[in-house]
Amino acid sequence: MAMNIKMYSTPFCKYCKLAKEIFNKKNLSFEEIDITQNQKLMEEMLKKSNEMTVPVFDINGQILVGFNRTKLEEALVKVA
């Protein structure tokens, strides 16, 4: 099964940058969605997470809110 990763982020989020480093080190492709550029995408993130914080990850439908390296790595292993 192909891994489908979306990361809702902002340009000034240091945890978003850390997550991107993890994805890049693992050679994982992901879609970065800058919620500061599109109100509809911000609303999509809110609907999925019920949170107004970034990053929010959608990994094959599993929603993770905030940056937690351990939980993120576990989610990536589950869907790999």
How far apart CA 43 and CA 2 sit, in angstroms, is 26
Q: How many residues does the chain have?
A: 80
Residue given tokens 């945890």 in the structure block: 15
Percent of the chain with pLDDT over 90: 89
What is the mean pLDDT of the segment spanning 32-44?
Answer: 95
- CATH class in words for 5-79: alpha beta
What pLDDT is stored for residue 54 in this prediction? 96
Asked if residue 20 lies in contact with residue 32, where contact means CB atoms within 8 angstroms, the answer is yes
Domain residue spans of the chain = 5-79
User: Mean pLDDT over residues 34-52, rounded?
Assistant: 94
The pLDDT-based confidence of 1 (bands split at 50, 70, 90) is low
